[in-house]
Structure 1
Amino acid sequence: MHLRNVEIFCDTVSHRSFSKAAEQRGISQPTVSQAIHQLEEQLGVALFDRSQRPLELTQAGHVFHDGCRKLLEGYRELADRLQHLSGVVAGRVRVASIYSVGLLQMAVYTQEFERRYPDVDLRLNYLHPDEVYSQIRRDEADLGIVSFPRDGGDIGCIPWIAQEMAVIVAADHPLADCESVALDSLNGTDFVSFTTDLTIRRETDRLLKSHRVTVHHVHEFDNVETIKRAVEIGAGVAILPLPTVRREIEQGLLKSVPFADVQFERPLGVIHKRHKHLSAAAERFVKLLHEELPDPSESAKPALTV
């Protein structure tokens, strides 16, 4: 049984698709199908119910997958220990991140990491926050980057940065020329919000409620990019992390107005599966995140690790 075939099998389980697993690994779909077929021939059982779309594991497939995850984790831990003895940093680091962490900001870190550690295969995927946690729990990602991180149970968290939140308005909005804005001045304002299933929305609602401020939610979106577009066309104002609107502010499409009477920040943290061994490469990535690199956002400041 080839270890590569086991890895292909686990990727196919994660994506529930031969084609998506092939795309993830940079190989052809027939190569994935052949690897799965070889495993099934060797084991004498069907691993997938191919009549289902997306793919579903058979009972034997579930048993095999559970064992494969443990096998691969043990192999990677052993390989990491051997590489540590030789001073080599290699292997794979899978990072799952929320969309709104900021593509420009993450590009600085990923490019520097790839420059320092060319032998490491760094994979960065942008996902919904719930899916980031799910991938960590399913061992489909080694590290997750989320806002307002939850630390407890099977999830551990390393604080990363705290991003200043501000009122974001269109360039021609009446508030655009204000040096600052009192929170209660937003009372009754048309508001472009995140959807209620996101923690950042709940934290924003909590802030407004604590100051007895009621806004008119005219639009709700699950991603920061659509919120920015809605604010640009004058649909309403928003409260967003400053790093996520840096480009639009530089282009004159949006204006940011700081709060005059409250301090509101969005903490970002790096989550991982508690008690799971982090490879040397994953540890180096976390360490890099806390270094003072040229940051596209001057409003993000390092948080202390605990």
Structure 2
Amino acid sequence: MAEAVVTEPYPALAPDQLAARHGLRVAGERPGLVEYARRIWAYRHFIVAFANARNVATLTTARLGQLWHVLTPLTNAAVYYLIFGVILGTRHNIDNFVGYLCAGIFIFGYTTQVASAGTGIISGNLNMIRALQFPRASLPLSVTLTQLNQLLAAMAVLIGIVLVTGEPITFAWLTLVPLLFLQTVFNAGLAMLLARLGSKITDLKQIIPFVLRTWLYGSGVFYSLANVMDHMPTWAATLLKLNPMLIFIELAREALLAGPNESGMTTTYMWTTATVWALVMGICGFLYFWRGEKEYGRG
């Protein structure tokens, strides 16, 4: 008679041990920081394609279409010139006020458009987030790229404006390249920061326009900083000089306009501050967004 074979019962394992044995991982688990950056680079073609699609889809129903990306800042410039330049007289003591004003509006508009779109990029794409697996930072990065494409078209118009208003072509124009690079890094970090905040605070989209409007008035877009600094407390003047948008705008004006520096800040100070702001916002925004990776798309 054959001898019965007695087998040991399958050992009971905890769920985490069982998952480790079979190579299972938590769905939506946040990858490590280096791995996350690697995945974003692997999805660079998706980011570019999504940015281009957003750019094409914007204003497609308008009769003038993409032309509004240029007409909008020009219209704002005309309105601000009438109110602040003519009625309030801020154009006095500023050489080439038209170029001065347009440079401020175009540069400031780049950041505000990124901030506005980035705030709702997560909540506005929940269906795609829940259906597809990709690094969620691709969305705020695509917002930044979309606005950068629109800015480059607008910059061609801005250069035409400064030429028509009598500004010469100089080698200083080449500094626009590193300037826009630093502002893009700053904007990308800002977009990721606001994207996570917007996914957690649903009312942020209603608040952000008021914040951006206040930021506009404190960034010297339509007035000379030197003309108002003398009437401000020391602490307020110091804070104003640390405003990143004021720095980016003044560097753009210094590159495009041949007139005297109206800001009262040295070139070295402005470039140093712009670099620090780009690094701080870019790194902090990326880290803050990465820490919330597993939260996006969940109810």
Query: TM tier, shorter chain?
Result: under 0.3
Answer with 1 or 2: which has the greater Rg. Answer: 2
Higher-helix-fraction structure: 2
For normalisation by structure 1, the TM-score amounts to 0.22
